[in-house]
């Protein structure tokens, strides 16, 4: 197992539990979805996974190892997160070339110009983009730069928190197809957090449904569809079928 969230609880204030006994796993090379209405606790769980917040109870394991301060750097070399707001994640005064150089240095890697060109091609960015500033890019291009920055370190797991929500449908589909390609070519596991059921159903092999801080259901894709047993989960996905 790549990621194992074991019986995790979280409150920000006494008496108000935001996460309740969360159990979630992501296997090597697996694409897992996490859906739920606004405020159900998805982003809080993402922050806990990335060790930006501490669980009150429970534990998190990465490649069977309990996540601790001591092995945090190994974790960050192998797990990357992308948030919805691509603009905020990119330093506005850096060109794309500089933005890509940073994670390359952090990962102690070096790439030739030719290799960088190949990577740009993989995420379908034009080669002349290297000298552009984030403000000169479209929303979809900014998110591609963000994705490219995250995958340069070749993580085993990519956590995507609402990364396509602010993009139009066509660009959303292109970004999702890019994630499918990265999953296939690099065997990179993905935890895809979204309230966009259509995107999640298309992309994921397995989906968790969250409601009011609890995981209420889980289903694996079978013959292109999902079979939920919980009433709330069924209602959510029923609406999608009727679209």
Least CB distance to ligand ATP at residue 58 (A): 16
Q: Which is nearer to ligand ATP, 39 or 126 (CB)?
A: 39
Assign 3-state DSSP to the chain and report helix, strand, coil percentages, each to 5. Answer: 40, 25, 35
Q: How far is the CB of 84 from ligand ATP (least distance, A)?
A: 8
Confirm if 67 and 2 have CB atoms less than 8 A apart.
Answer: no
Q: Which residues contact 40 (CB under 8 A, 6 or more apart)?
A: 210, 211, 212, 213
62 in Cβ contact with 24 (< 8 Å): no
Binding status of residue 41 toward ligand ATP by CB under 6 A: yes
> Quick one: tokens of 105?
């240095």
User: How far is Cα of residue 158 from the mean position of the Cα atoms in its chain?
Assistant: 5
**CA-based torsion, 97, 104, 162, 14: positive or negative:** negative
Asked if residue 40 binds ligand ATP (CB under 6 A), the reply is yes
Q: Which of 22, 31, 36, 196 binds ligand ATP (CB under 6 A)?
A: 36
Is 42 an interacting residue with respect to ligand ATP (CB under 6 A)?
A: yes
> Does 5 participate in binding ligand ATP (rule CB under 6 A)?
no
Distance, C-alpha 153 to centroid of its chain: 15
By CB under 6 A, tell whether 25 contacts ligand ATP: no
Examine residue 52 and tell whether it contacts ligand ATP (CB under 6 A): no
Q: Which stretch binds ligand ATP (CB under 6 A): 40-48, 87-95, 104-112, 231-239?
A: 40-48
The CA distance from 28 to 147, in Å, is 19
User: Is the four-CA dihedral 76, 50, 170, 133 of positive or negative sign?
Assistant: negative
At 108, is the secondary structure helix, strand, or coil?
Answer: coil
Binding status of residue 44 toward ligand ATP by CB under 6 A:
yes
Report the greatest alpha carbon distance in the chain. Answer: 56
Minimum distance of ligand ATP from residue 13's CB (angstroms): 7
Residue 43 binds ligand ATP, judged by CB under 6 A: yes
Query: Cβ distance 99 to 45 under 8 Å?
Result: no
Taking CB under 6 A as the criterion, the residue among 39, 68, 109, 238 binding ligand ATP is 39
Query: How near is the Cβ of 117 to ligand ATP at its closest, in Å?
Result: 36
Nearest approach in angstroms of CB 215 to ligand ATP is 12
CB of 213 to ligand ATP, least distance (A): 7
Q: How far is the CB of 142 from ligand ATP (least distance, A)?
A: 19
* Of 20, 173, 195, 221, the one binding ligand ATP by CB under 6 A: 195
Q: Which residues bind ligand ATP (CB under 6 A)?
A: 12, 18, 36, 38-44, 195
């Amino acid at each position: 197992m790549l990621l194992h969230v074991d019986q995790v609880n979280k409150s920000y204030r006494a008496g108000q539990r935001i996460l309740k006994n969360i159990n979630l796993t992501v296997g090597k090379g697996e694409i897992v979805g996490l859906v739920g209405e606004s405020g159900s606790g998805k982003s809080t769980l993402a922050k806990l996974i990335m060790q930006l917040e501490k669980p009150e109870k429970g534990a998190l394991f990465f490649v069977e190892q309990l996540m601790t301060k001591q092995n945090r750097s190994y974790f960050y070399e192998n797990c990357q997160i992308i948030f919805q707001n691509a603009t905020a994640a990119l330093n506005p005064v850096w060109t794309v070339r500089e933005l890509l150089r940073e994670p390359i240095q952090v990962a102690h890697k070096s790439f030739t110009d030719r290799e960088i060109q190949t990577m740009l091609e993989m995420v379908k960015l034009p080669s002349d983009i290297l000298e552009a500033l984030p403000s000169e890019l479209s929303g979809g291009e900014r998110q591609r730069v963000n994705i490219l920055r995250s995958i340069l370190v070749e993580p085993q797991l990519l956590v995507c928190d609402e990364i396509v929500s602010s993009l139009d449908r066509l660009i959303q589909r292109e970004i999702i197809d890019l994630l499918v390609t990265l999953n296939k070519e690099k065997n990179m596991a993905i935890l895809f957090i979204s309230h966009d059921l259509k995107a999640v159903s298309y992309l994921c092999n397995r989906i968790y449904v969250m409601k009011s801080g609890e995981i209420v259901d889980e289903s694996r894709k079978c013959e292109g569809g999902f079979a939920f047993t919980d009433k709330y989960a069924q209602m959510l996905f029923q609406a999608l079928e009727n679209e």
